Amino acid sequence: MSERTLVLVKPDGVERGLVGEVIARIERKGLRLAALELRTVSREVAEQHYAEHDGKPFFTSLLDFITSGPVVAAVVEGPRAIAAFRQLAGGTDPVEKATPGSLRGDFAVEVESNLVHGSDSPESAAREIKLWFPSL
């Protein structure tokens, strides 16, 4: 059964020219792109996207970072797409959790500028896809 997930290449990934690397790994894994767009995120969309982190100590910094430059937003689909992309991404902390071979393990060091975002559950995926690509 196919499912969909929302993937972001964060401002650090776009700035460093790693968009192609992220997309190549998604495609090689056997997942497909259902939507793909370069976007500058408004504060409003950023707040909605990260609503579950509202109130945490890093919330303001996270909003500043995600709105600091263009991101690439994608809807990725395929069997087990949510878990499959999270495997490609690696753990949130690029050094303590992400293993070498994963995107964060290979290309990131900081928890905040950790290259990519992927939805963490079917509920998050549905909410995030509706927020970023309402026409899908």
Residues within the interface to ligand CMP (CB under 6 A): 53, 58, 62, 92, 111-112, 114, 117
Nearer to ligand CMP, 31 or 66 (CB): 66
Nearer to ligand CMP, 41 or 62 (CB): 62
Is 25 marked as binding a ligand?
A: no
Number of C-alpha atoms within 13 angstroms, CB side, residue 4? 15
Quote the crossing angle between the two packed helices 19-29 and 81-89, to the nearest 10°: 130
Residue 117 is among the residues annotated as catalytic for this protein: yes
49, 117, 119, 125: the active-site residue: 117
Q: Which among 9, 22, 113, 6 is positioned nearest to 61, based on CA atoms?
A: 113
The nearest distance, CB 87 to ligand CMP, in angstroms, is: 14
Is 127 marked as binding a ligand?
A: no
Is 92 marked as binding a ligand?
A: yes
Q: Which residue in the block uniquely carries the two structure tokens 């303001």?
A: 60
Structural contact between residues 19 and 13, judged by C-beta atoms closer than 8 angstroms: yes
By annotation, the residues acting in catalysis are 117
Give the annotated binding-site residues for ATP.
Answer: 10, 58, 86, 92, 104, 114
